[in-house]
Amino acid sequence: MSELALRPARVALVGNPNTGKTALFNALTGSRQKVANYAGVTVERKEGHVTTASGRSLSVLDLPGTYSLRARSPDEAVTRDAVLGRLAGEAEPDVVVAVADATNLRLVLRLILELKAVGRPMVLALNMYDIAQRQGLRIDLDGLRRELGCPIVTTVATRKRGVDDLVAQVEALAAAGEIGGHANAWREPTAPEIRAAHREAQRILRAYVRPPERPDTLTGKIDAVLLHPVAGLAILLGLLFVMFQGVFTWGKWVGDQMGDGFTALGAFIAAHLPPGLLASFLTDGVISGVGSVLVFLPQILVLFFFIILLEDFGYMARAAFLMDRIMGGAGLHGRAFIPLLSSFACAIPGIMSTRVIDNKRDRLTTILVAPLMTCSARIPVYTLIIGAFIPDRTYWGFMSLQGLVMFGLYAAGIVSALGVSFVIRRVFWRGAVEPFLMELPSYKLPSAANVARNVLLRGQIFVSRAGRIIFPIMIVVWVLANVPGPPPGATEPAINFSVAGRLGHLLEPLLAPIGFNWQMTVALIPGFAAREVAVAALGTVYAVSDAGGNPGALATQLAHHWSLATGLSFLAWYVFAPQCASTLGVVKRETNSWRWPIIMFLYMAGLAYLTSFATYHLAVALGAG
């Protein structure tokens, strides 16, 4: 009995992007998968388990898609290192499953030739075999098997066809493990070697694959519309509009119900516990802390539903194509489009999805500007201040002044994000943006089960990762705002006596030039936990009870205490200010260094101060002081 028979066999799925590799992974492992990170890098590690018919256990790794083992992005480096067994804490795979789109074999044949040089036992899974058959594409499976020297299985991952056969082949290879492999002969190929490999792939293709009798013409027809310079952009804008409607109506409605639920839960606990630090800790610290994260979950799920649906359909590559030049003008990569789009719901999933960007500088630039996009946590603050200071007037019958200001704030976020990235790429990191080379996959009808699984997975990742960072920060901010407590007989709000209150008073002279009074400065400190917390904090310092549930009363108070110039300055502050500790925490995690969150904090705080200063003094000069 070899050692191999006693432990689960390690199987790695390798293939080009868009070959249905993840669908095959889902078909193999079902719900028995877990997502973590590879040690030391922020690349997602997706592992699942399969038990074979004979009871053998297989542990399957879904590696990031790649065109070559010559890695360009952190994702692709993981694929290379995992296959070569170089990854810290990971042994080399016992069996490699090369996943290929049966209708598009040319590039994957070249990858297979590279994988053969690595020398691990390999199975080739010809996925989407039903589409190949429908197109009348003929593949001489026996010939190809002899030529490549590895077993070939045909699969239709979305219908779970061929999966048992694949498992049986993998198991057979794993059982013969010790004799199946040979020493690794892979090294990075040079340009002439890639050309030679292409010729070899071309020869194999000519010998064993007959071109389709009924090639796919639908993709070309759809592209003629979706990639049209005018119609394509109009459709993209229309899709974005629908997406935003979805996020801000359905997603926000569910989130608001959850928010009410958390408020009710807090009230219930407050009513059944003696007032004091414990009750305050549970209601203001734990429940509102966890609640303020979870209320964003519905919006994030709706957003990811759209993104994953469009991704599986094949549209996201087209969106990147349409946006590349527009983003490129600001020094951003076409692929930065999706992360920035996600940041309208919340910067955290946006920053986490920058992993699709190959180049480190392109990726860091996107991370640095993502928080400037107007996330939904700013909406309560904007609504409060606009309601308090902007008159409810309508022009030309349909243009509401309040709506215009809201639109202006969104536009300011977008323009400043593009402006900052322009400055980063033209001043600090001069030089061209990474080449934009992207496959435009054939359009495919998304599978409902796969979309549902991936949306749930994204939601899980958000809750566990964001939760792990946000929860402790909420606790720290609560402590700052409540310790030490007020002396007996104090009439002022308790927060004035806490560390946060003292810090607020200390910072007041610094923020006075931009028109902030000490109450605002104090409210900014708990507001650092999450932007919308500032609304509740303002309620606390102005001693308006239940400010969150009754913003009208607070707005009246603010309109009474603040000048218009101060109100506008506060709005300008919120466009730029790094008022979200969780985002900084996620940036630290994604970049593995404190350097980038610190840079982000400083540049955003600097921009916020300058804009607020300019806004305040301009408004005062115009007589709004």
Interaction site with another protein (CB under 8 A): 67-68, 70, 72, 103-104, 106-107, 110, 189-191, 194-195, 198, 202, 211, 215, 219-220, 223-224, 227-230, 232-233, 317, 320-322, 324-326, 328-329, 334, 359, 362, 431-442
How near is the Cβ of 152 to another protein at its closest, in Å? Answer: 19
In the complex with another protein, the residue whose CB is nearer, 326 or 614, is 326
CB 569, CB 515: distance < 8 Å: yes
CB 472, CB 588: distance < 8 Å: no
Instruction: Return the structure tokens found at 265.
Output: 């839960």
CB 130, CB 105: distance < 8 Å: no
CB 288, CB 279: distance < 8 Å: no
Closest CA to 166 of 150, 148, 152: 152
How many other C-beta atoms lie within 10 A of the C-beta of residue 591?
21
- Rounded to whole angstroms, how far apart are CA atoms 625 and 623? 6
Pairing of strands 394-395, 399-400: antiparallel
How near is the Cβ of 422 to another protein at its closest, in Å? Answer: 11
In the complex with another protein, the residue whose CB is nearer, 18 or 29, is 18
In the complex with another protein, the residue whose CB is nearer, 168 or 240, is 240
In the complex with another protein, the residue whose CB is nearer, 191 or 271, is 191
CB 25, CB 46: distance < 8 Å: yes
Long-range (24+ apart) CB contacts under 8 A made by 164-168 are 164/53, 166/24, 166/28, 166/97, 166/123, 166/125, 167/28, 167/50, 167/52, 167/53, 167/58, 168/52, 168/53
In the complex with another protein, the residue whose CB is nearer, 365 or 540, is 365
CB 232, CB 318: distance < 8 Å: yes
In the complex with another protein, the residue whose CB is nearer, 189 or 380, is 189
How near is the Cβ of 144 to another protein at its closest, in Å? Answer: 17
In the complex with another protein, the residue whose CB is nearer, 13 or 197, is 197
How near is the Cβ of 99 to another protein at its closest, in Å? Answer: 16
Which burial class, exposed, middle or buried, applies to 8 when counting CB atoms under 10 A from its CB (0-12, 13-18, 19+)? middle
How near is the Cβ of 188 to another protein at its closest, in Å? Answer: 9
How near is the Cβ of 341 to another protein at its closest, in Å? Answer: 18
In the complex with another protein, the residue whose CB is nearer, 309 or 317, is 317
In the complex with another protein, the residue whose CB is nearer, 133 or 400, is 133
Q: Sign (positive/negative) of CA torsion 134, 137, 143, 149?
A: negative
How long a stretch of residues is the chain? 625
How many other C-beta atoms lie within 10 A of the C-beta of residue 153?
21
How near is the Cβ of 141 to another protein at its closest, in Å? Answer: 19
Pairing of strands 33-37, 44-51: antiparallel
Tell me phi and psi for residue 183, to 5 degrees. -65, 150
Closest CA to 577 of 599, 609, 555, 553: 609
In the complex with another protein, the residue whose CB is nearer, 444 or 617, is 444
How many other C-beta atoms lie within 10 A of the C-beta of residue 395?
9
Check residue 284 and report its DSSP letter: I
How near is the Cβ of 112 to another protein at its closest, in Å? Answer: 13
Contacts of 179 (CB under 8 A, 6+ apart): none
How near is the Cβ of 432 to another protein at its closest, in Å? Answer: 4
How near is the Cβ of 366 to another protein at its closest, in Å? Answer: 14
Residue type, 268: F
In the complex with another protein, the residue whose CB is nearer, 71 or 507, is 71
How near is the Cβ of 328 to another protein at its closest, in Å? Answer: 8
In the complex with another protein, the residue whose CB is nearer, 75 or 362, is 362
How near is the Cβ of 258 to another protein at its closest, in Å? Answer: 40
